[in-house]
Structure 1
C-alpha cells in the first residue's frame, strides 16, 4: 500500500547517518524534486553541518600533529582512526547529496 502523503515520483533521499545495524537511512519528500523538509530534513541538515565542521577541525588538528616530531606511534594511530571515521561521515554526506556539502566552501 502506498503512502498517500508521498507524491508519485518522489525519490528517497539518503540521510547523513545510518541505522544501528549500519544500513542506510532514507527520507522521502512529499513533493517530487523538492528536498525533504520537516523534522527529518532539518535534523539531517543540522547533523551534516556538525559533521563537516568536525571534519574541518580534525584536518587542522591532523596537520599540527603530523608536523610535530614528538607525536608517537600510538597518537598517530589514534589520529588515523579518527580521520577514517570522519572520512566515512564525509563520504556518506557526499553520497547523500546533502546541500551543505555542495554549497560549502572548504577554504572558510
Structure 2
C-alpha cells in the first residue's frame, strides 16, 4: 500500500517546538518503528491519565493545585493524541469510490440489510 502522503508527521517536536517529519518509503525502518512505539506509549499514557482523571474528579475533595496539574497533563496528552491522529490520518489511503450503475456517488446496501 502506498502512503497517501509521503511525509510522516512524527510524534515529537523539534527543539524549536515545530513539527518533525519523516520522508521514507520504508514503514519498517528504524525511525518509523521508533515513531510507532512512541505513538503507542503516548496513547497508553493518555488512557492511563484519563482513568486517573476520572478517579480524581469522582473522589472527595481535590485541591486547586491537583486540578491545575491534572489539566496541564490532560492538555499535553490531548495534544499528543491529536498529533497521532493527524499523522495516521495523513497516512490513510485515499478513499476508494466505486462508480455505480446509475453514475451516482450514493452508497448502496443490499436488500438483506433492510430485513
* Structure 1: runs of 5+ lacking an equivalent: 1-9, 99-108
Q: Corresponding residue for 1:24?
A: 19
TM-score normalized by structure 1? 0.73
Q: Contact between 1:58 and 1:83, CA under 8 Å: does it hold in 2?
A: yes
Larger Rg: 2
User: Do residues 46 (structure 1) and 37 (structure 2) align?
Assistant: yes
Aligned length: 86
Aligned-pair Cα RMSD in Å: 1.9
CA deviation profile, 1:1-42 (whole Å, cap 9, x unmatched): xxxxxxxxx7111111111111111111236xxxx3311000
User: Do residues 72 (structure 1) and 67 (structure 2) align?
Assistant: no
2-structure distance, mates of 1:13, 1:23: 14
* Runs ≥4 residues deviating over 2 A: none
TM-score normalized by structure 2? 0.69
Q: Contact between 1:15 and 1:44, CA under 8 Å: does it hold in 2?
A: yes
1-structure distance, mates of 2:69, 2:7: 36
| Structure with greater contact order relative to length (CA < 8 Å, sep ≥ 6) | 2
